[in-house]
Amino acid sequence: MMKVAFLYVDKAKHMGVEEVTKPICGSNNVLVKVNTCAICGTDGRMYEGTKDVTKGFTPQIKGYGEGRFIIGHEIVGIVEKIGSEIRNSDYKVGDKVILVTSIGCQKKGCRPCREGHHNMCKNNRPIGYYYPGGFAEYILVQEAAVRQGIIIAVPEDSSVSDEHLAMVEPLSCVINGQNYLDIKKGEYVTVVGAGPIGLMHGLLAKSKGAKVILAEYSSVRLTTAKKFGFDHYIATKDIDLAEAILELTDGEGADVGIVACSVKRVAQDLLRAMAMRGRLSFFAGFPKEDSTLKLDGNIIHYKEVSIYGAFASNRLQFEEALKLIVNGEVSMDKIVTHIFPLEKIGKAMEKMLDKQGDALKVVIKP
């Protein structure tokens, strides 16, 4: 038997820990004992009922869960058993591993899958939605996921904690967002949103030698962000975002802008503050019921501003994130703030969702 935290989709803010039969590792499966699974903002939205996980997904269960949702995708674990048909020298029983979230259809006719961008597959079936996730004592990595190669071994000589290794997934998404932006040393990078993702964007940009401006509406979050030692901070509650950026950059504007919050006005204001040939990333998604932006086309035209989107990440970006964290190039010391046992996952979700509290990344240890 094993303990599992189920998401009860018929009632908001309701998760329960139950005992279920431990999954059986088939010939094409890999069984992983979960050490740590961090809570993503999407997990929080599913918990509070603002994101419908049932739409488009019937959970694909193989051996455990009885068709109910097990969420969680920022996973670190130990390989416990490898199916008899699997031939792979990249990992072995006893290895500590990270699991890539997105699992594509892997069909020859699917261009994203063919090019390794499984996160962009139209039939993407992620861990924690379609496949059972990491808020459990064990996770069964199923045949399609094994075939795609979602299991990445952590270097054996790594001394990084499991809690920090769980940040590989969110950092991989940040890397995906910044790959388009070509950030150079000395450039002004403005990040709007001081949640964990915005702070990671700032840390990654700082590691590239950029001058980072962090903007945030919440005074509580802004106070927390000041512990990260970025170059400038803007309290958007008290001042016009575009004007503040222009003042800090001697009227030149931001070379790179990153929207790390789901606020339409931020995207529109940040565009007004872009430098010539600036690059603007809409990293965060916008509310589905109101996602249309009003952008000044002449700014884009005359300043040659490029606008990019970013969604999730792929294996190459997971590998890069793992390397950055293991080598200490991007530190997670201030990002991970709270650790809870599986039995207290409801309290952990509430802590993460409290935007006026002191939590950044909250981690579950089954």
Residue range 307-315: mean pLDDT, rounded? 97
Rounded to an integer, what distance in angstroms lies between the CA atom of residue 334 and that of residue 229? 11
User: Looking at the predicted structure, is the pLDDT value of residue 275 above 60?
Assistant: yes
Kindly report, residue by residue over 245-271, the tens digit of the pLDDT.
999 999 999 999 999 999 999 999 999
CA 12 from centroid of its chain's CA atoms = 22
159 C-beta neighbours (distance < 10 Å), count: 7
User: Looking at the predicted structure, is the pLDDT value of residue 129 above 90?
Assistant: no
Sign of CA dihedral 97, 102, 106, 109: negative
Q: What is the largest CA-CA distance in the chain?
A: 63
**What pLDDT is attached to residue 65?**
58
Indicate the pTM of the whole model. 0.96
User: Looking at the predicted structure, is the pLDDT value of residue 59 above 70?
Assistant: no
Segments of 69-209 assigned E as strands: 74-82, 96-99, 138-141, 151-153, 188-192
pLDDT band at 364 (very low <50, low <70, confident <90, very high): very high
CATH architecture of 2-171+313-365: Alpha-Beta Complex (3.90)
**What pLDDT is attached to residue 54?**
66
pLDDT band at 57 (very low <50, low <70, confident <90, very high): low
- CATH 3.40.50.720 domain range(s) in the chain: 181-309
User: Looking at the predicted structure, is the pLDDT value of residue 313 above 90?
Assistant: yes
User: Looking at the predicted structure, is the pLDDT value of residue 67 above 70?
Assistant: no
**What pLDDT is attached to residue 203?**
98
3-state SS, residue 23: coil
Q: Given 3.40.605.10, 3.10.20.340, 3.40.50.720, 3.40.640.10, which CATH number is that of 181-309? A: 3.40.50.720
pLDDT band at 298 (very low <50, low <70, confident <90, very high): very high
- CATH 3.90.180.10 domain range(s) in the chain: 2-171+313-365
Tell me the pLDDT of the chain averaged across its residues: 94
Query: What six digits make up the tokens of 355?
Result: 């935007």
Kindly report, residue by residue over 177-199, the tens digit of the pLDDT.
999 999 999 999 999 999 999 99
**What pLDDT is attached to residue 56?**
61
